[in-house]
A and B are shown apart, each in its own frame.
Chain A
Amino acid sequence: DVVMTQSPLSLPVTLGQPASISCRSSQSLARSDGSTHLTWFQQRPGQSPRRLIYEVSNRDSGVPDRFSGSGSGTDFTLEISRVEADDVGAYYCMQNTHWPPTFGQGTKLEI
């Protein structure tokens, strides 16, 4: 299985400041058709996960443009340009290029 490694696992942040989460995969997530199935989920405390970004850098509808995803191959990053209180929670990367789908350990964002 593809191992997804996130860092840091805990991320203390200051409101209004940027934040960055790294996700590395044990194999390249690039498919021969050019697609890369790397997804970011947000899980606020007490809530179910919500998809934020798919295929590395595409924001889902309703996701603030403060959130951005980037990367290629085995190295990916989720960035929040200016952290707001509503962003507190856990963030997970997930790959769906190789079977089975696998998640990173999660990064806990705390103010």
Chain B
Amino acid sequence: EVQLVESGGGLVQPGGSLRLSCAASGFAFSEHWVDWVRQAPGKGLEWVGRAKHKPDNYATEYAASVKGRFSISRDDSKNSVYLQMNSLKTEDTAVYYCGDIGDSLPWGRGTRVTVSS
């Protein structure tokens, strides 16, 4: 079964850090780019960043709203992608999804991040 599973969310204070994981199974993970997309409570979808695959030198890209605070890495040997989030702000509160927005792979169920004091 094709599956992506996010984990690592939780409650963190402003200025804190959190590391999210995205574990893939059931498909050729190494052949895909992986995007992180977030959804603030009651709001729409926002692209956060991307980890490209080996042919693209594992390049990463970030939305302006998170650049310099978030970093994405991937480990193809573990079929996993990670989102390291530092200097968190209240506006980073959202459900974070991983997926490939350029493909029909089903997204994960998401992991909730709450930034609050």
Contact = CB atoms under 8 A, between A and B. Distances in A.
Interface residues of A, number: 23
A48 B44 contact: no
Nearest to A101: B47
Interface string B26-70: 000000000101000000111100000000000001011000000
Nearest to A107: B44
B101 A104 contact: no
Contacts of B101: 39, 51, 94, 96, 101
A71 interface: no
B78 interface: no
Q: SS class of chain B's interface: helix, strand, loop or mixed? A: loop
A96 B110 contact: no
A61 B35 CA distance: 21
Given A92-B44, A101-B47, A105-B44, A61 B61 contact: no
A48 B107 contact: yes
A82 interface: no
A64 to B, nearest CB: 15
Contacts of A60: 104
A49 B97 contact: yes
A100 interface: yes
A102 B47 contact: yes
A104 B43 CA distance: 11
B102 A106 contact: no
B81 to A, nearest CB: 16
Contacts of B61: 99-100
B108 interface: yes
A61 B101 CA distance: 15
Contacts of B46: 103
A50 B47 contact: no
B106 interface: yes
B45 A94 contact: yes
A92 B104 CA distance: 15
Contact of A51 (B47, B63, B104): B104
